[in-house]
Structure 1
Amino acid sequence: MAARQHVVVVGSGIVGASIAWHLTRDGAAVTVIAEDIGGVATPTSFAWINASWGNPEFYFHFRRRSIAEWKRLARELPGLPLSWCGGICWDLPPDRLEAFAVEHASWGYGIERLDRAAIAAREPYLKQLPESALLVAEEGAVEPAAAARLLLADAEARGAKFVNAAVDGFIRSGERISGVVSSAGIVGADHVVLATGAGSVPLAASVGVTLPLEAPPGLIVHSRPFEKRLNGLVMATDLHMRQTTDGRIIAGSDFGGTDPGADRHATAAALFAKVKESLTDGSRLSMDFFTVGYRPTPKDGFPVIGGCGQDGLYIAVMHSGITLAPLVGLLASNEILTGDADSSLAAFRLARFG
């Protein structure tokens, strides 16, 4: 019998946690190394699961495939904090909104047009209603840090190990990456997965790999828990909101968050005032905290998934980590353990940057 392959996963956000979970399920010996369970960008995400936003058709279908994988993952791992609440949007000019609806409906996205009365029936606590909006019933949200923790806990129950440490670099055996150097010591491996978001850039650079990555900041406000006020995702002009499973209303000027500006506290206060103004009884809401996340975004907007020219090193970095995590975990595990390239990931290789 062949020995189990040992894979070190660097990073514990939603992407790293999904890859670690799938690898463990698929029979690998897995060690996750990270300083914080749940990662850095994941807890600051708006956490919208979708295939929207003007993506080219091939990427739309990839994202929609991952929506289905979230449902598969929920069946395999009961308790995932998912909500298939659907979303309404009117945050584009009417002509662009209609073009989006026609295009995505032709691709199979279930889009429904709502008039003002239907919007009010769906979201009765919204104070400022548009004349029309679009509803995408299949979209949803996840509580991302809780989901990452659940994936990691289940992976540990299946035999994976978690090491609370910083990774400083890699070790080599000949021409192959064969482990990592961490603050807890050297950890050898058959494969190393780098899934640390923006933190992947300096680590990759240490072995001569350039990741063309940007990490724009995004500020999200979080209310204190409150009674039910939103039934689903609301993508209004200059304000995107949802209510979490524990009753917090979270919001940004869009789903990526608000530019925090020079005074983050002032920006957060102004954004939360807009949230309060948008809801009936909004004056009773109070802000608990705000976060500023740095979204790891490859320069062409698409994920970087796969080998990077360094044998033994696999990279998984993307802005759409929340939507794509279960599918990326599934495909990455198969590629790493079998050595077979998956054609559906061909568009996302680092080599496309030349």
Structure 2
Amino acid sequence: MQTKKIKRREFLLTAGAASLTALNPLRQVSAAAPAVERVIVIGAGIIGSAIGYQLSKRGCQVTVLDKVGPAAQASGNSFAWINASWSDTPDSYFSLRTHSLNEYHRLSEELNLPIRWGGALEWYHDADSTSEMTDGISLIQKGGAAAKMINRGQAADIEPNLDPQSDYLLAYSPADGAIDAQAATFAMIQGMLDNGGELIAPAMVSDVATTRKRAIVSTDIGTFDADLVVVAAGTNANDIAHMAGLKTDLLMPATPGIIVKTRPVEPLLNTVCYTTNSHFHQQADGRLIVAEKLNPPETTTHLNFLANQPNVFPNSEFAMQHAKRILNTAGFYVPEIATVEPERISIGWRPLPLDGLPTIGHVADQSRIYLASMHSGITLAPIVGSLASREILEGVRINLLEKFRVERFY
């Protein structure tokens, strides 16, 4: 495969509200931060693209390196739910996600991102899971969230074609949405290129080194140097961070999920729908995204196939069998889904942080390395892009990110 160095309009898109300044998160000056004019971003997923775009907007010279290309890994094979829904994670994480939803509205206007803001419905088929969700909704309501528990009749008003097949209450989160993550990543890469940055892919990173004044990235096509390196490498974050000198892991082993994208259909869904065995929503272009967690039997055949984290099935027949099963499962809740023709079937690999929380910021003893590793990259991309670019270029530490530093693992 030939490596391409791409600038500005050479990159053609193939896929179709509060400002951050209003949030004004507190910040602290960091005397250790070096002056930064040129940055290498390792990873062209949605997080790396968001950081690269925001840096380039502020006049930084940006080079994005990726081993395949934009959104070729986790970002392009994601369920792509934008949410700040209930969870058992700390308040600081919910706050970060909420800020990111607000920032998405601003960024969407700036780049015309393909987002559908319809809210989300989540439900379960047992009392314990429903009780846990109810407690979570109650907790975020105290923080001002508009989410609430509703009954089947109320859910039918919001999502007329849905039968939850359960008499338990559902959680409704009206602020949530869904995005075409591949198109959004491409839009941010395009914005970065328009601002004078460059994308180099495929480029396989083999080493990351730093000196007192520079950061050097070695790849299979040559060596690149800059003032600072951003590690936004998705499921490869452990390997790249270790090259950069980090002594701890950031992620657990990635887990797979199957994503089915259908051909466009007439309007069928208003919300993101999430339950135990099926997740589905409809994009702005009419395509349905239907997903499930992949729990294959631990046979030698399956383990060997999944060992290298493939994004596609070994053959189209096998892929179609999985797609039909997944669409039929979703059809249990919305019968029309079972009849829709699949267009693309892929395996998505989810980065899973060791403690469930993002890792964002400079490495304490490596001031020329900046980490951006997380599971909810689709949700967090706008806020991480904005705040990381400020920390890198202004030499500050932003309090909103303080709970997510790598030092918590030391």
Fold similarity call, TM over 0.5: yes
| Correspondences of 1:34-183 after superposition (within 5 Å) | 34=66, 35-52=68-85, 53-77=87-111, 79-91=112-124, 93=127, 94-131=130-167, 132-170=169-207, 172=209, 174-175=211-212, 178-183=215-220
For 2:387, give the aligned amino acid. Answer: L
Report the Cα distance in structure 2 between the residues aligned to 1:140 and 1:259, rounded to whole angstroms: 26
Change (3 A) 1:172 1:238: closer
Against the structure 1 CA distance between its residues 234 and 97, is the aligned structure 2 distance closer, same or farther, given a 3 Å change threshold? same
- Aligned partner of residue 272 in structure 1, secondary structure: helix
Give the count of matched residue pairs: 348
Match of 1:14 in 2: 46
Q: SS at the partner of 1:281?
A: helix
SS of residue paired to 1:154: helix
Give, as a single letter, the amino acid of the residue that structure 1 aligns with 2:243. S
Query: Is 2:377 the counterpart of 1:321?
Result: yes
Cα displacement (A) at 1:39 = 3.9
User: Which amino acid in structure 2 is aligned with residue 238 of structure 1?
Assistant: N
Deviation string, structure 1 residues 282-339 (Cα, Å, up to 9, x no partner): 4422233322111111110001111223231111110010111111111111111122
Decide which of 271, 274, 278 is 2:326's aligned counterpart.
Answer: 271
Q: Distance in 2 between matches of 1:173 and 1:242?
A: 44
> Residues 176-215 of structure 1: matches in 2 within 5 Å?
178-209=215-246, 210-214=248-252, 215=254
Residue 57 of structure 2 corresponds to 25
Aligned partners of 2:250 and 2:359 also within 8 Å: no
| Corresponding position: 1:230 with 2:269 | yes
Percent sequence identity is: 33
1:246 alignment partner, one of 270, 273, 285: 285
1:112 Cα deviation from its structure 2 partner:
3.3
CA separation in 2, counterparts of 1:88 and 1:48? Answer: 12
Relative distance call for 1:101 and 1:158 in structure 2 (3 A) is: same
Deviation at 1:176, TM superposition (A): 5.6
Cα 1:206/1:129, change in 2 over 3 Å: same
Q: What's the TM-score once normalised by structure 2's chain length? A: 0.79
* Structure 1 residue 162 displacement after superposition: 1.2
Is contact 2:36-2:393 (8 Å) kept?
Answer: no
- How many angstroms apart in 2 are the aligned matches of 1:58 and 1:323? 15
- Give a deviation string over 1:200-250, Cα, whole Å, max 9, x none: 222222233132312111222222222221111112342221112222222
Cα distance in 2, alignment partners of residues 151 and 349 from structure 1: 25
1:338 and 1:199 map into 2 onto residues whose CA distance is 28
Shift of 1:104: 1.5
Q: Give the partner amino acid of 2:92.
A: F
* Aligned equivalents of 1:284, 1:269: Cα separation in 2: 9
Q: Which moved more, 1:262-271 or 1:41-50?
A: 262-271
5+ long unaligned stretches in structure 1? none
CA contact (8 A) 1:260 1:268 kept: no
Deviation at 1:144, TM superposition (A): 0.6
CA distance in 2: counterparts of 1:128 and 1:75, whole angstroms: 34
Instruction: Report the counterpart of residue 302 of structure 1 in structure 2.
Output: 357
